Amino acid sequence: MVRKFTTRAIHDGEGWDKSTGAHNTPIYQTATFSFETAEGMAAAIMDNPLESFFYSRTSNPTTAALEKKMASLEGAEAALVTSSGMAAVAISVLISAKAGEHVIVTNDIFVISRQFFEQDCPAMGIEVTMVDVRNLQEVEDAVRPNTKALFVETVTNPNIYISDIAAFRSLADKHELTLIVDNTFLSPYLSRPIEQGADIVLHSATKYISGHGDTVAGVLAGSKKCMDTARLKLDSFGQCLSPIASWLVMRGVRTLPMRMRQHSANAQALAEYLEGHELVEWVKYPGLKSHPQHALAQATLPNGCGGIVSFRIKGGADEMNRFANSHELFGKGVSLGDVFTLVYPQPWRDNLIRISVGCEDVGDIIEEFDKAFANV
């Protein structure tokens, strides 16, 4: 019997340590591992390097426990954890395309991912075309004979567009493309792209996966063959996650379902509040009926639309700054997915304000916004 998601988030990949009786998965804070015999060491290194523990850059028991948990939650054959979300982005692309080949990428994308695609990929000889993922014809028109991969975000950052993963799977099949999906904004609790046809799913585990703003990490998931290839690439680039960081992420994953329910409920309430506020010009959140892709959200995100809301205050940069500077409870910061609410004003994006809605009491969140609006 397949256990429910919440149970697997707590238990899968883990178990009490039979050698010591420790209830929690230990932190194996070691760089290397010893062998009883020279023959055993040679067999681990030469015959089964991806499944053996001999050096923590390649694998480590704490890290392996987290990888098993994430594979279970994503519905994947295997998973790989990395030193950051950007390490996951880079590895996913570099195992899918090489110099002289071409990838298609969403044009509304995390700013450092954009930097990677616009600067680093061309420097490595990989051609990149950016497209509006809402327009399937535009995506297909970008396909070339040398196109190898399509890279999208389930919900784009920061304009909150939704990717139709099933439609992209059909397009990828037609043109023999690898479909790579960044699922950072939703987590596997709200969306599991592999079940919809993605070949590779990735996360900045810094965000909702760990959930507490205390570590930087990334995750890749897919077929075992694909993840074995990714592990070799990680080994070459040295983008491994430390055992203690793996443990912190694993601790966070145990409460992922509860947190995502609260994030989504609070974001829905805040978006509805903002939509009715006289000082707000527009609000973007898939749970709102006014969102142009609300029907797609209803069909594909039955457990909630996540914790990110973007909006714009009437006026200009002065009004945006007065609002952002008036918060006492919430910090101003560039990350997201923490249990605490973060305000991210972006004057370079026509004064867009991105809110990573936390897990505080929703009444306190709205009261804080009331106070901030009073100073605009």
Q: 306 vs 140, 261, 341, CA distance in Å? A: 28, 8, 13
Which domain CATH number covers 90? 3.40.640.10
Q: What is the pLDDT of residue 55?
A: 87
Domain shared by 67 and 56, yes or no: yes
Exposure string over 214-236, b if 16+ CB within 10 A, otherwise e: ebbbbbbbbeeebbebbbebbbe
Query: How many Cα atoms are found within 13 Å in the side-chain-facing hemisphere of 320?
Result: 22
CB 101 within 8 A of CB 261: no
Domain shared by 239 and 282, yes or no: no
Query: Which residue do the tokens 């238990």 mark?
Result: 11
Query: Which residue do the tokens 């390649």 mark?
Result: 58
Residues 210, 214, 216, CA angle at the centre, nearest 5°?
A: 70
pLDDT tens digits, 128-170? 999 999 999 999 999 999 999 999 999 999 999 999 999 999 9
Q: Where are the alpha helices (DSSP H) in 181-311?
A: 187-190, 224-237, 243-253, 256-275, 294-300
Domain shared by 164 and 210, yes or no: yes
β-bridge mates for residue 32, sequence order: 55
Domain that holds residue 231: 5-253
Domain shared by 227 and 341, yes or no: no
Q: 322 vs 200, 224, 309, 366, CA distance in Å? A: 42, 50, 19, 17
Mean pLDDT of the chain: 96
CA distance 228 to 230: 5
Domain shared by 184 and 261, yes or no: no
50 pLDDT tier (thresholds 50, 70, 90): confident
pLDDT higher than threshold 90 for residue 96: yes
Domain shared by 117 and 194, yes or no: yes
Number of domains forming the structure of the chain: 2
Q: Residue 346 is which amino acid?
A: Q
- Dmax of the chain from CA atoms? 74
Domain shared by 234 and 365, yes or no: no
48 pLDDT tier (thresholds 50, 70, 90): confident
β-sheet with 331-332: strand ranges across = 280-284, 308-313, 352-356, 342-346, 331-332
45 pLDDT tier (thresholds 50, 70, 90): confident
207 pLDDT tier (thresholds 50, 70, 90): very high
CB 338 within 8 A of CB 211: yes
Domain shared by 266 and 137, yes or no: no
Q: Which of 253, 275, 290 is the last residue of a domain?
A: 253
Structure tokens at 173: 């099949």
Residue 193 φ/ψ, nearest 5 degrees: -60, -30
Domain shared by 293 and 245, yes or no: no
Structure tokens at 156: 């784009």
pLDDT higher than threshold 90 for residue 188: yes
For residues 76-95, give the mean pLDDT.
98
Q: What is the pLDDT of residue 234?
A: 95
Q: Which of 229, 253, 277 is the last residue of a domain?
A: 253
pLDDT higher than threshold 90 for residue 46: no
Calculate what percentage of the chain has a pLDDT beyond 70: 100
Domain shared by 83 and 228, yes or no: yes
Q: What is the pLDDT of residue 63?
A: 96
Q: Which of 230, 253, 276 is the last residue of a domain?
A: 253
CB 261 within 8 A of CB 304: yes
**Prediction pTM value:** 0.95
Q: What is the pLDDT of residue 16?
A: 83
Q: Give the CA-trace dihedral at 158, 159, 160, 163, to 10 degrees.
A: -100
CA distance 187 to 191: 6
Which domain CATH number covers 315? 3.90.1150.10
- Identify each DSSP E strand in the chain by its residue range: 78-82, 102-106, 127-131, 147-153, 178-182, 200-204, 218-222, 280-284, 308-313, 331-332, 342-346, 352-356
Domain shared by 29 and 61, yes or no: yes
For residues 51-63, give the mean pLDDT.
89
Domain shared by 282 and 364, yes or no: yes
